[in-house]
Amino acid sequence: MRVAPHLRVLAVLWIARAVLLLIPALFLLSFSHWQLPAEVPADVQSFLHPLFGGIGWCMLVLAGGCFVAAWGLLERAPWARLFTIIVGAISLAEVPFGTALGIYSLWVLLPESSETEYRQLAARG
């Protein structure tokens, strides 16, 4: 049993990752509507507001993906292994915590023996 002891740890780490993305996402989304100081030129303001909003929405979507991966792993859903592998591969670019979590997720879930074990766990659970 290689996968079973790691599933709960992975799920908790994905929830932590989601929270770490959710906090700045909500801040950026709210900040995108704030009025900037008058000293900031209008063209810079017109650039910054959509930039903050766009980054905030991207982070919010990533946080949602992290929550879905964690929920799927906790429920041992048949689709959760592949979904977590995809989210883990995407998170490799998010240094440092996303990279570490992506490596750990891929190490646990990617091998062929892990696929067989996860299918057995999903069928039971």
pLDDT value for 15: 98
pLDDT value for 63: 97
Helices assigned H by DSSP within the chain: 4-31, 42-75, 80-91, 97-109, 112-124
Tens digit of each residue's pLDDT (9 = 90 or more) over 59-72: 999 999 999 999 99
Residue from 7, 8, 15 nearest 66 by CA = 15
Tens digit of each residue's pLDDT (9 = 90 or more) over 21-47: 999 999 999 988 888 888 889 899 889
Domain parsing of the chain, residue ranges: 4-124
